[in-house]
Structure 1
Amino acid sequence: MESPVYIQIHNSIKRDIEAGKWAIGDRIPSERELAISFGVSRMTLRQAIQTLVDEGILERRVGAGTYVANQKVQEKMSGVTSFTDIMLAQGKTPSSKTISYHVASPSLSEKEKLNLPDGAQVLRMERIRFADDVPISFEVATVPEALVQDFSKAEVTSSLYRTLEEKANLVLGGAQQTVTAQVSSERIADFLQIKRGDPILRLRQVSFLQSGEPFEYVRTQYVGTRFEFYLER
């Protein structure tokens, strides 16, 4: 299955960065220039750029354009804990609304993060996560399609971690997590019922089974005033 056009553009820009066409801190061409170069609409090009921003590969600077992101100091957080379990532990009722759910070819980033072989497919889903019916986060989660092909959409979207533990008898391990701050885009603001430009906490996480095999690559944007992270040392 051929990847969506925006994923193909994502892959092309990522390859160019890795090949040294643009170095860390360099400004990339404008969306208009890139849209013309790739022969696509501004909307499609913007979606490709946003995926790279969400992955921390690019960063937007208000009034200045889009740049290859600088490397940031990373703080290690421990454990793999599901959103469902976090909310239940705080006495809140978790729920989610699925925005998209489809099997597709992985992007280069997804293939690398999940250590996928050539030809492997992924399930990519977008969800809004709620606590007591209040939107907390917007999540894009990617998992190997082979890992969840025997489960229903409801089983996967309600709580992926519980489904893997209870129905696939898999033991979850640790995670690699990166948290950065940003402001919300118009699309994310609409989903989370906030204003465009409001503060967002962005989490990028690769989750592993106890065996060390990566099983999930997730990019989540949390409403800054409704969620906080804490570290245990």
Structure 2
Amino acid sequence: MAGAIKVSKTHLVRTELDSLLAGLDIGDAVPAERELAVRFGVARETVRQALHELLVEGRIERRGRGTVVAKPKLVQPLSLRSYTEGAERMGRTPGRVLVSWDDVRADAEMATALGVRRGAKVMHLERVLLADGDRIGLESTYLTVARFGWLRESFDPATSLYAALRASGVEFGAALERIETALPSPREAALLGTTTAMPVLMLNRRTVDVADHPIELVRAIYRGDRVAFETFLADR
């Protein structure tokens, strides 16, 4: 028929795979490329491309030498709440693994954002974020030593930083947050248990308290196949 739209073989295979996955449970094995190619009557490369799309979307995941149906993405609210609250809301078990905790000197941009002089000591806390033991994010938090140096004596980096700050009397006021897509560096990919070809969601945030005094700068990356963000919008 004139004007008919030609549908690619990869799209057709994706449609078949969507139907296949709908009948499987989380953790169930996905048939091998060779088996799927025979079943759908296409080349293995076509199946491989369709599976790669599902992998990037977080619908499936590699496990050993096989592929299984993945858990739903962890949906994080865009709010002044901790990662812990978002994970627990979805019935997931949050966790953190400390990568490094050291002092750095504030450069001009960081000094302005945190309200300190250039060269002032700033704590850099880097942690891998977990959900049910799976690595889903890598978070770098910067706080001034002058205001938050006490954390070194009492804070357990495996727990919620926001909970510790609130317990100390810090009242969160507002944050400016920017989210964009990126590709992880080799180091970041290794810490996240992914590859440099797998897109991540990069978040940059500056948070202030109710008196508009800076609290933190955060740079975090989240696996795009494991995490999604949501917010509530209303026109009132």
TM range (shorter): 0.5 to 0.7
Q: Secondary structure at the match of 1:164?
A: helix
Deviation at 1:129, TM superposition (A): 0.6
Counterpart for residue 84 of structure 1: 84
Deviation at 1:107, TM superposition (A): 2.4
Counterpart for residue 135 of structure 1: 135
Deviation at 1:204, TM superposition (A): 0.3
Counterpart for residue 183 of structure 1: 183
Deviation at 1:109, TM superposition (A): 2.4
Counterpart for residue 163 of structure 1: 164
Deviation at 1:99, TM superposition (A): 1.0
CA gap of 1:188–1:180, structure 2 versus 1, over 3 A, is: same
Measure the CA separation in 2 of the matches of 1:172 and 1:122. Answer: 19
Deviation at 1:90, TM superposition (A): 1.6
TM-score by length of 2: 0.62
Amino acid at match of 2:114: L
**Structure 1: unaligned runs, 5 residues or longer:** 1-76
CA displacement 1:36-95 (0-9 Å, x = unmatched): xxxxxxxxxxxxxxxxxxxxxxxxxxxxxxxxxxxxxxxxx9631111121122211111
Measure the CA separation in 1 of the matches of 2:111 and 2:183. Answer: 27
CA displacement 1:111-140 (0-9 Å, x = unmatched): 122121355311011111101111111111
How many aligned residue pairs are there? 156
Counterpart for residue 103 of structure 1: 103
Counterpart for residue 42 of structure 2: none
Measure the CA separation in 1 of the matches of 2:201 and 2:103. Answer: 27
Deviation at 1:229, TM superposition (A): 1.2
Amino acid at match of 1:101: W
TM-score by length of 1: 0.62
Q: Secondary structure at the match of 1:85?
A: helix
**Over aligned residue pairs, what C-alpha RMSD do you find?**
1.8
Deviation at 1:223, TM superposition (A): 0.1
Measure the CA separation in 2 of the matches of 1:152 and 1:124. Answer: 11
Measure the CA separation in 1 of the matches of 2:206 and 2:230. Answer: 18
Measure the CA separation in 1 of the matches of 2:177 and 2:228. Answer: 14
Measure the CA separation in 1 of the matches of 2:186 and 2:118. Answer: 35
Identity %, equivalent residues: 24
Q: Secondary structure at the match of 2:220?
A: strand
Instruction: Provide runs of 4+ in structure 1 moved above 2 Å.
Output: 117-120, 151-154
Measure the CA separation in 1 of the matches of 2:104 and 2:87. Answer: 30
Structure (1 or 2) with the larger CA radius of gyration: 2
Amino acid at match of 1:179: I
Measure the CA separation in 2 of the matches of 1:120 and 1:135. Answer: 32
Measure the CA separation in 1 of the matches of 2:130 and 2:153. Answer: 18
Deviation at 1:142, TM superposition (A): 0.3
Deviation at 1:226, TM superposition (A): 0.6
CA gap of 1:222–1:186, structure 2 versus 1, over 3 A, is: same
CA gap of 1:169–1:93, structure 2 versus 1, over 3 A, is: same
Measure the CA separation in 2 of the matches of 1:111 and 1:100. Answer: 21
Deviation at 1:96, TM superposition (A): 0.8
Counterpart for residue 205 of structure 2: 205
* Matched-pair contact (CA < 8 Å) for 1:96–1:130: yes
